[in-house]
Chains A and B, each alone.
Chain A
Amino acid sequence: MARNITYREALNEALTQEMERDESVIVMGEDNAGGEGAPGEHDAWGGVLGVTKGLYHKFPGRVLDTPISESAFIGAAIGAATAGMRPVAELMFVDFMGVCFDQIYNQAAKFRYMFGGKAVTPVVIRTMYGAGLRAAAQHSQCLYPLFTHIPGLKVVLPATPYDAKGMLIQAIRDNDPVIFFEHKALYDTAGPVPEESYTVPFGEANVVREGGDVTIVTLGRMVHTSLDAAAQLAASGVECEVVDLRTTSPLDEDTVLESVEGTGRVVVVDEAHPRCSIATDISALIAQKAFGALQAPIEMVNAPHTPVPFSSALEDCYIPDAQRVVNAVKTVTGWTR
């Protein structure tokens, strides 16, 4: 039975249902309850933006607040995963990966391969990303391309409440380390979400709008920006097919290539910086495997190659918007040899 709930509520429901189902699921992170050791309320915060609110009292002993020590507690989550737990650790902002990245890319990512298949590391690292909250340069980045580069990690970016719930449940049940990206500007967006438990498999892109003229490949918050652009373009007679990648590792190459075979024109929309981004990666994939189908050069819409600025006047220019996507689509439809 589906009802409309927010992205934040969908994540909380996924955690709740998995913790009820499997007692090896534990949650840890900075202020995941909040108020630990303080004289006032426990579960004061439920995570800095409230995703884990309520779990502390519902699951005694299984929601652990941590010191601000990302290396220690992300590493502890990884270690616990090798010892039979299914920890969901919260790296509050992905920008903080710099203080714990070793535990993720040199430890968790490598155990299974490096130990000859003798280790599983079923850890989920939930993390916030993306611009739009005036959170400035060290709390707004889109660092998913860096994680996508690392073999051994799975990297997922749900764009809707439905995917947020289904992909978090999938992530918890997965035996591999999963980096679970939550766009902070999506927490209050609402959409239909079934009450019952379900999973959304990894490596399956979602065609969120069908159309025959141009393929827009996108992910995360940019799915919504792209859909806005597609709606505007439809009014002027250009039909866009919007492909939400949903996971960058594993990457669903087939859905992208099939769409491009049908349209011959491509815009890739990615909130990350332009170089070594998902946009460049998808462009390379298409150039390599669907070159014959292309009727125009691929257009990429990215944030600029700058740190994320603070001032709203600047940040609003920084974040790719629907108009830039519309312009890119017009470029590929208007291109002639």
Chain B
Amino acid sequence: MTDTLERKTLTREQLLDAYRTMRTIREFEERVHREFATGEIPGFVHLYAGEEASAAGVCLNLDDRDTIASTHRGHGHCIAKGVDVGEMMAEIYGRRTGSCHGKGGSMHIADLSKGMLGANGIVGGGPPLICGTALAAKIKGTGGVSVAFFGDGGSNQGTTLESMNLACVWNLPAVFIAENNGYAESTASAWSVASDNIADRAAGFGMPGVIVDGFDFFATYEAAREAIARARQGGGPTLIEMKFTRYFGHFEGDQQTYRADEVAHARAELDCLERFAARVTETAELSRADLDALDAEIGAEIDKAVDDAKAAPLPTEADLLTDVYVRY
């Protein structure tokens, strides 16, 4: 896996967007990691740090017509699809001001107005749903594309395989993004995925399968650009496998005794932000000052998100029985 040398030229604005998205995800996740350790954040939290180039590379090719479905490791997808970071943080803290008014939490952040059909607590829960949003786009002729993110664990669920088949049978404007971070919980994908690569399975459905260095933004962006353009033009689904490593455990609190030293290696040698920064400054497309300015801005934004979340009101007992169809 090497950097994509030949690529479409991205504008300065696009490059800034890409860096902003990846840096925001990284800051968000590193901060949640630290705050979780203080005990203030309730429940289960699964962090996306290390995988930023996938969400950013895919979602920067999407627009308001498009829908994504995410996973339990969904913060990065939410941020990349434009969900408000302050509302996300408030949701993670269980506050009334959160994206879901405190009723969803980390695993269920959603904003349908942004085409974000939800993080999902069920592994393999999203792919069937995006077949539906893709079908709706196709019937209505909106030109919209739907994207399912799932992990190496999700790639082994029947729902995911059924959805790939259905999307191909119906020739849907759908893209399947397998984020292979090496582990489903503590179980190695090298063991749990019977084929050499998840992308190899695409052949079984008659769609293109692409393997991408998930640490390389330019590679993820280019693979997604091609797949999304094909889907938008009626050319049907694509399966893209992003290979990388997550920087934290399966969930916060995971002691990760099953792992070797791949995180230290990845942070030092492969990190998507470091590589992106090195590349764009080397080519002089962006300056170090551009990136530093964004770093400062994003740091302040995340600080504010945490401060606001901590200060925000909790839901009240009266909220318990709202937004449900039947009450007894």
B239 to chain A, nearest CB (A): 15
A288 to chain B, nearest CB (A): 11
Q: Is the CB of B131 within 8 A of A107?
A: no
How many of chain B's residues touch chain A, expressed as a range? 35 or more
- Contact status of A151 and B129, CB under 8 A, knowing A67-B165, A84-B140, A118-B100: no
Tally A-B pairs: CB < 8 A.
Answer: 155
Tell whether B230 is near chain A: CB-to-CB under 8 Å.
Answer: no
Interface residues of A in 314-332 (CB under 8 A from B): none
Q: Encode contact with B along A114-131: 1 for CB under 8 Å, 0 otherwise.
A: 111111000000000000
Residue of A72, A152, A250 touching B159 (CB-CB under 8 A):
A72
- Contact status of A64 and B170, CB under 8 A, knowing A72-B162, A118-B111: yes
- Contact status of A114 and B131, CB under 8 A, knowing A84-B140, A151-B326, A154-B326: no
Q: Encode contact with A along B73-106: 1 for CB under 8 Å, 0 otherwise.
A: 0000000000000000000000000111111100
Contacts of A83 in B (CB 8 A): 67, 132-133, 136-137
B284 to chain A, nearest CB (A): 43
- Identify the closest chain A residue to B110 (Cβ): A115
List the interface of chain A (C-beta within 8 A of B).
Answer: 26, 61-62, 64, 66-67, 69, 71-85, 87, 102-103, 106-107, 110-119, 151-154, 176, 203, 249-251
Interface hit among B26-34, B181-189, B317-325? B317-325
Contacts of A250 in B (CB 8 A): 325-326
B84 to chain A, nearest CB (A): 12
Q: Is the CB of A154 within 8 A of B108?
A: no
B237 to chain A, nearest CB (A): 12
User: In whole angstroms, what is the CA distance A119 to B170 when docked?
Assistant: 25
- Identify the closest chain A residue to B111 (Cβ): A118
Contacts of B125 in A (CB 8 A): 102-103, 106-107
Contacts of A84 in B (CB 8 A): 136, 140
- Contact status of A102 and B325, CB under 8 A, knowing A78-B129, A113-B103: no
Contacts of B264 in A (CB 8 A): none
Tell whether B112 is near chain A: CB-to-CB under 8 Å.
Answer: yes
Interface residues of B in 101-154 (CB under 8 A from A): 101-104, 108, 110-113, 117-118, 120-122, 125, 127-137, 139-140, 146
Q: Is the CB of B101 within 8 A of A117?
A: yes
- Identify the closest chain B residue to A123 (Cβ): B132
User: In whole angstroms, what is the CA distance A73 to B167 when docked?
Assistant: 10
Q: Which 8 A-B pairs have the closest CB atoms?
A: A75-B128, A79-B132, A79-B129, A80-B132, A116-B101, A116-B100, A72-B162, A83-B136
User: In whole angstroms, what is the CA distance A67 to B325 when docked?
Assistant: 31
Contacts of A119 in B (CB 8 A): 110, 112
Interface residues of B in 150-196 (CB under 8 A from A): 158-159, 162-163, 165-166, 169-170
Q: Is the CB of A152 within 8 A of B324?
A: yes
Contacts of B140 in A (CB 8 A): 84
> Which of A61, A71, A87 has its CB near the most chain B CB atoms (within 10 A)?
A71
Residue of B104, B135, B159, B169 touching A116 (CB-CB under 8 A):
B104
A144 to chain B, nearest CB (A): 14
Q: Is the CB of A71 within 8 A of B162?
A: yes
A258 to chain B, nearest CB (A): 17
Q: Is the CB of A77 within 8 A of B122?
A: no
> Which of A112, A114, A118 has its CB near the most chain B CB atoms (within 10 A)?
A114
A280 to chain B, nearest CB (A): 15
> Which of B131, B134, B162, B325 has its CB near the most chain A CB atoms (within 10 A)?
B325
Contacts of A176 in B (CB 8 A): 325
Q: Is the CB of A113 within 8 A of B323?
A: yes
- Identify the closest chain A residue to B128 (Cβ): A75
- Identify the closest chain B residue to A110 (Cβ): B108
Contacts of A103 in B (CB 8 A): 125, 128-129, 159
Q: Is the CB of A85 within 8 A of B323?
A: no
- Contact status of A107 and B326, CB under 8 A, knowing A75-B131, A80-B133, A116-B101: no
Q: Is the CB of A115 within 8 A of B132?
A: no
User: In whole angstroms, what is the CA distance A80 to B142 when docked?
Assistant: 13
Q: Is the CB of B117 within 8 A of A152?
A: no
User: In whole angstroms, what is the CA distance A113 to B103 when docked?
Assistant: 7
B89 to chain A, nearest CB (A): 15
- Identify the closest chain B residue to A247 (Cβ): B326
B322 to chain A, nearest CB (A): 7
- Contact status of A118 and B110, CB under 8 A, knowing A79-B132, A102-B125, A106-B122: yes
Q: Is the CB of A71 within 8 A of B159?
A: yes
Q: Is the CB of A69 within 8 A of B166?
A: yes
- Contact status of A76 and B325, CB under 8 A, knowing A64-B170, A117-B101: no
Q: 8 A-B pairs, CB-CB below 8 angstroms?
A: A75-B131, A79-B133, A103-B129, A107-B129, A114-B104, A116-B98, A118-B110, A151-B324
A214 to chain B, nearest CB (A): 26
- Identify the closest chain A residue to B148 (Cβ): A79
Q: Is the CB of A76 within 8 A of B131?
A: yes
Q: Is the CB of A76 within 8 A of B128?
A: yes
- Identify the closest chain B residue to A85 (Cβ): B136
Q: Is the CB of A114 within 8 A of B101?
A: no
Q: Is the CB of B323 within 8 A of A71?
A: no
